[in-house]
Each structure stands twice: as C-alpha cells, then as structure tokens.
Structure 1
C-alpha cells in the first residue's frame, strides 16, 4: 500500500515538472531585431507622388505643368475694340456734333423736315385733278393723312411703292391740299412722292417730301 502511494506521488511530480518546463519554453521572449531594410525604405521614399502609380487599381490623372489656359481680356467698353479708349468717346462726340456739321438741307434729308413744307400754288382751268402719291424710298410703313381745305379726306393712308390717290373736283379759287406725316416708318423720315394731274392728263405739279412726324407738306391749286 505504501509502495503504491509512493509511486502515485512520484508520477504526479513528474507530470508537474514536465508541465512547468513546457510553460517556460512557451513563454520565452524573443527580442525584436531592427531591420536595416526598413530604414533604407524610409530614406528612399519618393519626395513627390508618382502620378502613374495606380492606387487601389485606379489610375490617378496625369497633371501637366504646362497648361495653356485661354485668357479673356476684360473691357469696360463691351464688344467694341479700340486702340485707345479715347476713340470711343471721340466717336460718340462726333455723332452728337453731327447736327452742327450738316447743313439744314442735309439734316432734313437725314431726319426729316421739322417745319411745314410749301410746294407752291398752281393755276388750272380743269374741272378736276387726280392727286396720287407713293413712298419714293424703302417701303417701311410710312402713313399720312390727306386734307383738302383743312377737311380730312383720307384719315390714314399707308404709302406703298405704287401710286394711289383720289379725284378732286376743283372749287373756284383756292384748293389747298395737305399731306400730314403721321409717322416716320421703320427707318424714317416719312418719305413720299406726289403728283397732281388735271382732267386732260397734264401734269400740274409733282414733288417729294421728307417729313418728321406731325409735319405737313402743302400744295395749292387755283381754279381760274
């Protein structure tokens, strides 16, 4: 019995000793060794990122340092180009001085007469005359009003490129015919050509006008 007990104690001790040896072997710490390769890797890292190296399988765009970007010049004068900014003001000044440079006749041709025009009086023995008129310039919407002895005969007449008009029975004495410009069309001034022809087909009078809005041209036919 004692022999069996002694053998049990010896067996238990041997297991404990073997376990301690295994624990000691497993807990041995291995000192870290600093690799020279890691130092060298840090020293030779590129100072700038390589634009050709893919990152996560995505190619980064190549950036050029020599981009020629278009430059738009800033101008205070809109789309007009002048060698000298003073030219802009000079041109505007010249336009404002045009009325001082042009003669009265030239201004009337350009802007239309601002005073009533009188084309004279003519004697006739005819019973009637035909009064016709048309736009002698570009047909741009000129409109006139026709009056005889201050009575409105045609309130609004749109002038076209062809002659149109009316027959006027002459009264003894003065027969005053007025052509009143109601507008200046699209291009201005109000431009027209008129003719007065008697019952025998004889031309009594003809002329042209260039009128500003509200101005009239007058002719008088005196029946003998």
Structure 2
C-alpha cells in the first residue's frame, strides 16, 4: 500500500517539473524599439499674434466702449403731464376745415374791423331788434348787447327773422352785434332790423363780418 502512494507522489512531482520547463520555453520578451517619427513634440503652444496692418481691410479686434451715457431723465408714468385728447382732435379738425376752405376758395371776405351802421332817431318808447342770416344758413353765431348789457349771449342765425323787444331810454341806445364765428361758408353774414311800436323800420342793414368783429347801430330816442 505504501508503495502505491509513493508512486503517486513521484508521478505528481514529475508532472510539475515538466510543466515548469515548458513554461520557461514558451515565454518570449520583445524589446521596445524607439522610432523618431512617432515621437511627440512637447514644445509649448504659443498663441497666435493679433493681425495688425496699416491696410484698411485688415481685421481688428473691436474696441470696448467706456463712455456710456445714461438718459438724463427717467420715464415716469406719474410725473408726466398729458394734454387733452379732445383739444388735439379739435386742432386737427380746424386745420382740416381751413384746408377745405382754401381749396374751395372760401377764404374770409368779411370785414376785419368793427362796422358802424349810424345813428337813427325815433320817438317810440320801445323797439324790437331782429336778425337773420341772409345767405346760406351755415351755422353763423352772434352775441347781442344793448347799452353794453348782453341780452343774447350766443344765438344762431337762421333764414327767418327773430329777436327781442327792448324799452328805449332817453338819448342814445347802443345795439351791438358780435360775430362769434364765421360758419362753414365764410364770413358771418346777417341782416338786421330795428322796428318801432308800429312795426315801422327805424334802422336796417346787412353785414359780412369776420370772427370777433362787431357791428353797432345807435337808436336815439327823442
């Protein structure tokens, strides 16, 4: 039995030695070979220089702006004053209206100075002042005063006579007609009459006035 174990041990020993010899024979070392072509250039990288030239077509780097000006006044919704939109529309409409009048040859032909219609005498205690637009009914407006007292502050002229009755004082009774506008067919045109208690005409005339021009007639009670 011992002989059997001895043979097994010798067999394993022999196999181990043979394996080590084969292992030594199969190992092969290859020496490294240096190649100049494969060597890397380890020189430091130098940045490219900027292109500078006297030629106007040369590329130059942009210059930085250092003096930036800020607005002198900041915008604020609370500190601003806004105009009236209605006034702006009114001004535009007026310019458009004047342009149409110029194109149609409707420039003002009325008197630009106050007109005096004379002194007229009567023995009547009362008088009736009447007025109408003798031309186109175009929206002419007047103000009527008697002895510097406004009796008709703003009255429109139509093609029919209308007016008011006054009591005449002794002496001069001054009646004034002021043109407040010129309508859309210039100028302000009207026909007036002043009649007595018996409907007799004391004074009558017609006017063609520019805006803010007045016509005056004096009725003298005797």
TM-score (norm 1): 0.51
Residue of structure 1 in register with 2:174 after alignment: 176
Q: Is residue 133 of structure 2 the alignment partner of residue 138 of structure 1?
A: no
Work out the CA distance in 1 between the residues paired with 2:196 and 2:151: 19
Structure 1 residue corresponding to 2:163, chosen from 162, 165, 187: 165
Q: Which residue of 2 aligns with 1:74?
A: none
2:206 aligns with one of 189, 205, 208:
208
Between Structure 1 and Structure 2, the one with more helix by share is 1
Shift of 1:147: 0.4
1:195 is matched with which residue: 193, 198, 207? 193
Aligned length: 118
1:218 equivalent among 198, 216, 220: 216
Give how far 1:110 is off: 5.1
Partner of 1:29 in structure 2?
none
Residues 7-43 of structure 1: CA deviation (Å, up to 9, x unaligned): xxxxxxxxxxxxxxxxxxxxxxxxxxxxxxxxxxxxx
Q: CA deviation at 1:201?
A: 1.5
What TM-score, normalized by structure 2, do the two folds share? 0.51
Q: Deviations over 1:122-160 (max 9, x none)?
A: 111001011100000000000000001111111001000
Superposition pairs of residues 28-47 of structure 1, within 5 angstroms: none
Matched, 1:119 2:117: yes
Instruction: Provide the C-alpha distance between the structure 1 equivalents of 2:136 and 2:200, rounded to a whole number of angstroms.
Output: 28
C-alpha distance in 1, partners of 2:195/2:135?
A: 22
- State the Cα distance separating 1:214 from its structure 2 match: 0.2
1:27-176 correspondence runs (5 A)? 111-176=109-174
Residue 202 of structure 1 deviates from its aligned partner by 1.1
CA contact (8 A) 2:108 2:210 kept: no
Partner Cα separation in structure 1 for residue 184 and residue 108 of structure 2: 14
- Aligned residue for 1:139, secondary structure, equals coil
Structure 1 vs Structure 2 CA RMSD: 1.7
- Displacement after TM superposition at 1:168 (Å): 1.1
Distance 1:203 1:187 in 2: 29
Bigger radius of gyration among the two? 2
* Structure 1 outlier segments of 4+, above 6 Å: none
Classify the secondary structure of the residue corresponding to 1:171: coil
